Structure 1
Amino acid sequence: MASTKIIIGHIVISLFFLFASTQCEVKSLNVSTLCIKEERVALLNIKKDLNDPSNCLSSWVGEDCCNWKGIECDNQTGHILKFELNTYVICNKTVRMVPTDLGNLSNLHHLDISSSDSSVWVRDLSWLSALSSLQYLGMDYVNVTNSSL
């Protein structure tokens, strides 16, 4: 009888620690996937500068920009790693300028601002120098004719 109580006690303690560690892991995942506030603000500034009559950026609401369309974040740091603006270029074909606020996404690894035609243009390329982590830059058909460095 005493050995049964000890075994049950071990099971209860084991279940408690399993539950407690699962809760900690879930909480850490929830916290870590939230995007960085400064980067969310930069994205909202970019959104403000874009002409979006088709409402392609409708998912860009709330505190967690990691769940926004065209955005991917590091699961542990919350930094934005991937931004695909070409999704919105396809959705809205009007002429637009690439916002310089992209330079505020300093941890960005993947940036695609490609267009299907030359309706997207860049006036100033100096923001590119702030993207020191950039590994991929897609700028197909982006008009850089009168761009300054």
Structure 2
Amino acid sequence: MKNLKIMMFMFVVSVVLQVAYGQHHIRCIPNEREALLQFKAAIVDRYGMLSSWTTPDCCQWEGIRCSNLTAHIISLHLPGQYYYEVSWRYISGEIHKSLMELRQLQYLNLSFNYFRETNIPEFLGSLTNLRYLDLSSCHFSGQIPTQISSLSHLKYLNLAHNYYLNGSIPREIGNLSRLEYLDLSGNSFEGYIPSQLGNLSNLHKLYLGGYDGDLKIVTSDQWLSNLNSLT
């Protein structure tokens, strides 16, 4: 009987340690794992960037980071890789709307991938916990969706060097009052730079240089002088 109690005690201790240190403990939230698998199904992955996305615990997959407290996915980091301006590892295809299920996502980096002839998805505006969004050098076309203005916690926004982004810069970007970094350079925007950018009082860095567009600034506007934090 004494030996049985000792064995039971050791078993309980083992289970507690496994949970505490993550051994054999699947932390992945099922509906978020399913959302990632739907995202993967819509992706063309010639270089195996998502090859680890097969095990039960999605928190262990490449590019995924989960909260230690809640197990919710808080980071999706899947940038492509370039070598001397030639891409040699990237994903393409479609950014599936299943990412809407990642309600606690704070960081999203899909830069240097190849989404040519697709638009920046409007549904990204529903990821209202985002602090960091990098969609640079992805070959997106069309206009910046105004839904991005719903990302009220955003501090970093990089849409640079998509080349085929066009139209005007949405004045709604001026609603992103927490922005510290904004890069819209290397695109084909036209029209006047919206004076609402002057509302971005926390902005440290601002890049607006064009690729094949015709951006104009109204010299009488004072919006630029409102950006006291620019470095």
How far the C-alpha of 1:37 sits from its partner, in A, is: 0.6
Partner of 1:61: 54
Q: Who is 2:150 aligned against?
A: none
Alignment partner, residue 94 of structure 2 = 97
SS in 2 for 1:137: strand
**AA paired with 2:32?**
E
Contact 2:18 2:25 (8 Å CA) reproduced: no
Q: d(CA) in 2 for partners of 1:22 and 1:52? A: 39
Instruction: Give 1:25 shift.
Output: 5.0
* Structure 1 residue 91: Cα displacement: 1.7
Q: 3-state DSSP class of the match of 1:82?
A: strand
Please say if residues 71 and 83 of structure 1, whose CA atoms lie closer than 8 Å, have aligned partners that are also in contact: yes
1:61 Cα deviation (Å)? 0.9
Gaps of 5+ in 1: 1-16
* Structure 1 residue 124, shift from structure 2 partner: 5.7
Q: Secondary structure at the match of 1:120?
A: coil
Cα deviations across residues 63-117 of structure 1 (Å, max 9, x unaligned)? 1001100111111211111101224886236x5332222222111010011126x
Paired residues for 1:120-139 under 5 Å: 120-121=115-116, 122-123=118-119, 125-139=121-135
1:73-112 aligned within 5 A = 73-87=66-80, 91-92=89-90, 95-112=92-109
For structure 2, the residue ranges without an aligned partner over 5 or more in a row are 1-8, 82-86, 148-231
In structure 2, do the counterparts of structure 1 residues 105 and 32 end up closer, same or farther at CA, with 3 Å as the change threshold?
farther
**Matched AA of 2:134:** G
Which structure has more strand as a fraction of its residues?
2
- The 5 Å alignment of 1:14-33 reads 23-30=15-22
Q: Structure 1 vs Structure 2: percent identity of aligned residues?
A: 29
Equivalent residue, structure 2, for 1:46: 39
Q: TM-score scaled to structure 2, two decimals?
A: 0.47
TM-score by length of 1: 0.70
Q: Against the structure 1 CA distance between its residues 90 and 105, is the aligned structure 2 distance closer, same or farther, given a 3 Å change threshold?
A: farther
Q: Which amino acid counterpart does residue 27 of structure 1 have in structure 2?
A: V
Note the C-alpha offset of 1:43: 0.5
State the Cα distance separating 1:147 from its structure 2 match: 6.5
Secondary structure in 2 matching 1:133? coil
State whether residues 33 and 77 of structure 1, in contact with CA within 8 Å, keep that contact through their aligned partners in structure 2. Answer: no
Whether the aligned pair in 2 keeps the contact of 1:33 and 1:75 (CA below 8 Å) is no
Name the aligned partner's letter for residue 133 of structure 1. Answer: N
Distance 1:23 1:32, change over 3 A: closer
Q: Mean Cα displacement is larger for which, 44-53 or 80-89? A: 80-89
